[in-house]
Structures are given as structure tokens and as C-alpha cells.
Structure 1
């Protein structure tokens, strides 16, 4: 699968100075890279275009433009100062614009600044990006400080050389940046499909435990599904009702928590195997799943519930309802 990586930066020059080598390596490896610059500055625009060309970035957007703006809102520009200053904009609006790009690009990873940055504009970008990736459940990596420990490091000579060439497109101090400085990234949020990102041993242990849970649950519910209680003149099949509810809650809960069909599928296998095994007559002649209405409903109903849970599509990223009113007043925190 081709990696699609979205970089969100405050102003021109940041994309090269902080993540230039990372961008160069991703482009060289065939990844699709999108760079979003939040503040539009006509003076630095030509330098930004030249630097991105050196890095090989074909998809660049200014936050607030038509291709980086929340649907239904008129395009706008974010600036350093004045009434359109980035730091003065509603956090919800900035986060929604970032979210709009995420919905369009559907990146596998988003990269931006860390929370500890001292610059007000970068801090605003971090807050907005953290909010957007949290709502849309996208893995979020932050740029580490030079020399600090990092989960991902980019320090190969070719990428650093490309970064240095891109920095030369900028006038002033950026052209003098240290081309040998390694870049480090740290994962802030794993995002979707966190089960697939765990170690093989953890996945095996989780699978075994869930299979055991499925077998136990299937056996227990099969044993009680024929239970009834008389309420006046009516006979309530409480055992069947409880069994179906617990089955739905268990499988749906596993699907939601693990965000993958694998774990829910393993639990389903355990549950149905236990159910099928107990459907046969025991050596003593007892039958836990007799040929009656309750037995048929339990057998067919559990299979139907499992099929619905496993076939249910993943939550679409553009369904971030917490962003539906980006310009609304509200708490200034994600």
C-alpha cells in the first residue's frame, strides 16, 4: 500500500527546516506527500514553491484555500498579524480546515509540530492538527527537538543533502541551516487499526484470550438460552433475550475497541464453535439446543448478529461530527 503523508506547517520555510529530509525520503520511496502551509505570505511564496520543487512535492495547499477549507465555508487566508492572524482564528475553524484536507487526501500519517513548541503560531497549528487527527482517527506524528530521542529518525546523507538544497531556495538564515542535523519524529496518536500496529506476541496473546472468551461465552449462553420466566399468563424467554443481547454487545464492543474485524472474528469463531459443539446430544442423552423455536432463534440469531458486526463497514473518516460547526464559539482546546 502506498503511504500518503500529510505535513501541516505554520509558515513557509518550516516544511524544509523541520521536515525537509523526511519529505525527501518519503518522496524518494514513492510515497504520496501533501504539504499544507497555514499562513500565506506572497513574499515567501516563490521561495516556498522552489523549495517544494527541490523536495519533490507535487501537492501543496494553503490552509483556508478552496482545496483546504471546510465544506460550506468561503475561502479565507491566514496571516501572521491583523484580523486574519492564525493565532487569533477560532481553533475549531483551523482544526476543521485541517480536517478538510485529511478527508480529501486520506493520509495514512499526519506530521506536524509537538505541543512543547514555544512559537505561538506553531502551537496553534499543533492544537488544530491534534484536534483534527483525534476526531478523524488518523495517526499523528510530531517533530522532535534536534538531538532529542525519537521513534523515527531521518539522517541518511541523500535526504539531508536534498534538504540542504531546498533550504538554499530561501533567503537569509534558512539557507545556513545545518544540513547534517538529523530529523526525529515521535508518534503522538496511533490512530485507526491500532491492533495491526502492536507486536506479533501481543496480537497472538490477544487472539488466544479472545478465542477463550468466545468459547466460554458461547458455552454459557447456549446453556441458558432455553430459560424462561412466567409473568402472569405470559412466558418470557429471558434466557434467549439475554443471550442475543450479550452476543451483540460482546462482538460489537470488540469491533469498536480494537477497530479491526480480526479480533471480533476470532471471538465469533469461538462462540459459534462452542454453540455447535453443545448442539449435539451428550452421551447421557441431554440436548442443550433442542429442536424448538428458542433453539432455532438462538442458532440463527447468533450467526446473523456475527455477520452484521463483521460486515459492518469501518467508520468513514469524513464523519467527524465534532467538526460540523467549525466557526462556532466554544472551548479553545481539542
Structure 2
């Protein structure tokens, strides 16, 4: 929706044919010109089911003419929602349609509040951003994003001319049946939609919160270092075999701490703090005390315990972060 290139796949949800040209025609034309994939979904086949003349205004020929004027050549991308479902069924149909289009954004220019909310909820369930046309869902004081469609005004006017039964077109002025007039300009505005099904936006951590988390991670690393140093010499005799049970548990615990922090927190500073706490504690406890006692005696077990955590910490911290792949439809 931010016109970032031809990788966009935007789904427009509207009440009936003709609304796509009036409310979002310039945006649709610009997206198509930039190589984006555009899908247009109508909640109803006609603007007014009780009006017999509406069938002429929203005839297949009119829709085809508007679609061609805006630059879309694939008729399958413009369609009415199957069966005009309501409530939960309508939301389920929209979820399926958004998934089929592999949508990167959803635009709702819908007067019907039920259909608008269904589009917002379905977009949230799919994890894609939703934008509401300011023409039909403006809220005083809300922040709007204006899309420059000045290069596509002629396309929008040609698409509007395809629906003579819905309005009269005089230059850039659209006269609606209720007597109101709409001026076609070079911008179309949208507000970011929100709904209960949309994922929460996480705020970036502050320097203070990162420092506190680093101190807590260092304390956790120190605690694991103390416990591992005390337990790493514990062995278990199984017949003629001597199993280094304490060392195994100590390495598993310290490795799980570092790896878990990296996978959950995604902050190398936190993992580094935990590694410093762990390695520094093992180093200090491996020194001979003033009384001559040694917690990490020389030998295979002591050598492994002093070296393995440092090697594992270096591996966990240096491992590159692999970005998540976008699921395909």
C-alpha cells in the first residue's frame, strides 16, 4: 500500500460495483501501473437491491469497462463475495480470499459497518495491514496517509464514466443521486485500521529496559555458573563405565540458558551479558582459594567445564539471525 514496488498484492473490499472507481480508483490504477497485483471484492452485486435500475448501473459490462479503464486485464480478480454471506461466514470468506491472494495489504472502502469490520478482522487474522478509505470511514482527528494519484486521474474518470446509472460526471465533478457532489482530486486518503483480531504492535525496547534485562541475564548466567561448577565433578558408575552426570547436566543447563535467550529475546546484548556472567563465574571459581581448596580440579571434567561454555556462547552469539519466510498462499 506504500507503493514499495511490484511485489505488492493488495485486496480492495467495497460495498458494490462503482465504489471501487469513486473511492479508490486512483489508488487501484497506480498500483496496477506499478506492477502490483490488485484484487477487488464486492459485498453485493448492486448498490441497492430494491432498485430495479441498479442492475443496469452495475451490469457486467459496466464493471468490465471500469476494470479496463483502471488497467486490470484479468476479470477473475474482480468478483462479488460468494453468496453475499453475513457475520462469521462473511469473515471466513474474506479470510479465504485474502489467503488466496496472498495479500500484503487490505483496503476497505465500505459503508456497511458489518462488512467493514469483517474485512478488518479478516485482515488481522491473516496478519496483514488494513487501510480504511477516509471517504467512507473518516474519524475526526485520526491520522491519514494521502496517496498521490494525480497521474491516474484520467483513468479514474474513465472508470467513473462506466457507471452512468449511479451518477452524473461533469468534468471532475461527480453528482450523486442524493444531490451531493464529489470532486475528483489527485489524492486519495486512508487511515490505518485496527481490530480485535489484529496482532499487537510491539514497542522497541528502551536503553533502560535493555540494561535491566542485561543485568538480570548476567545474574542468571552467574547462578548457572555456580551450580554447574559445584555439580560438574559428579559422576555415576554404571558397571565399568563412569558417566559424567554432573558435567552433562551443567553443560545442558548453561547451553539451554544461552540458546533460549537468543531464540526468545532476539537481542545479542542480553545473550552476551548472560555469557559473561556464566564464564566469569566459572573462571573465578576455578581459581585456588586462600585456603588452598579448588572447585575445578585439573582433569578432563574441569577442562571441559571451563572451555565448553565459552565456545557455546561464542557460537550462539555469532549465529546469524535468519529472517522468517513469508508463507505462500
CA distance in 2, matches of 1:150, 1:175: 31
Higher RCO (CA 8 Å, separation ≥ 6 residues): 1
Aligned to 2:240: none
CA distance in 2, matches of 1:52, 1:174: 17
2:101 maps to which of 89, 92, 105: 105
Aligned to 2:227: 227
Q: CA RMSD in A?
A: 4.5
- 1:283–1:92 CA distance, 2 compared to 1 (3 A): closer
Structure 2 residue 36 is the aligned partner of structure 1 residue 31: yes
CA distance in 1, matches of 2:328, 2:295: 44
Superposition deviation, residue 154 in structure 1: 3.3
Aligned to 1:132: 122
3-state SS in 2 of match to 1:172: coil
CA distance in 1, matches of 2:317, 2:221: 15
Deviation digits for residues 286-330 of structure 1, max 9, x if unmatched? 899994777678667777888999558468487xxxxxxxxxxxx
1:187 maps to which of 192, 200, 203: 192
Aligned to 2:10: 5
Equivalenced residues, count: 271
Deviation digits for residues 5-34 of structure 1, max 9, x if unmatched? 211112111111111112122223333222
Q: Contact conserved, 2:9 with 2:103, CA < 8 A, in 1? A: yes
1:278 maps to which of 277, 280, 286: 280
3-state SS in 1 of match to 2:11: strand
Structure 2 residue 150 is the aligned partner of structure 1 residue 157: yes
1:51 maps to which of 66, 86, 95: 66
Q: Contact conserved, 1:4 with 1:31, CA < 8 A, in 2? A: yes
Q: Contact conserved, 2:66 with 2:162, CA < 8 A, in 1? A: yes
Superposition deviation, residue 192 in structure 1: 7.4
Superposition deviation, residue 47 in structure 1: 0.8
Deviation digits for residues 83-126 of structure 1, max 9, x if unmatched? xxx3xx34222112211122122222111036xx4xxxx22221
Deviates more, 1:235-244 or 1:96-105: 235-244
Superposition deviation, residue 36 in structure 1: 1.8
Matches within 5 A, 1:174-253: 174-176=167-169, 177=174, 178-181=182-185, 182-189=187-194, 206=205, 208=207, 212=211, 215-225=214-224, 226-227=226-227, 250-253=261-264
TM-score (norm 1): 0.62
1:144 maps to which of 134, 139, 158: 134
3-state SS in 1 of match to 2:124: helix
**Which structure's CA Rg is the greater one?**
2
CA distance in 2, matches of 1:192, 1:29: 29
Q: Contact conserved, 2:149 with 2:188, CA < 8 A, in 1? A: no
CA distance in 2, matches of 1:56, 1:175: 22
3-state SS in 2 of match to 1:145: helix
1:96 maps to which of 82, 92, 97: 92
